[in-house]
Amino acid sequence: MKKEFTIIIEQDEDGIYVASVPELEGCHTHAKTLDELRERIKEAIQLYLEVESDLVKEIPLEFVGIQKVEVAV
């Protein structure tokens, strides 16, 4: 069985890429390059689902989109 997941990719102040999976709480990784990041996040998802195997059929969230919101600080 194959499942598709949306990943969010950000870059920190040191240039390191960080990926997270909104559908899988706490599933994230980081890498120096985008190619390495893609491989690492696939591995992180696979490991997450091995540990939380009951979630494979019950993933409740569906990715809708990303928006920026401006607030005064």
In total, how many domains does the chain have?
Answer: 1
Structure tokens at 22: 């909104």
pLDDT at 51: 87
pLDDT at 65: 78
pLDDT at 57: 61
Residue 45 belongs to domain spanning? 1-73
CATH number at residue 24: 3.30.160.250
pLDDT at 28: 96
pLDDT at 43: 97
Q: 7-42: per-residue pLDDT in tens?
A: 999 999 999 999 999 888 899 999 999 999 999 999
Please tell me the distance from the alpha carbon of residue 37 to that of residue 28, in angstroms, as a whole number. 10
DSSP H or E segment with residue 42: helix 34-51
pLDDT at 67: 80
| pTM of the full structure | 0.76
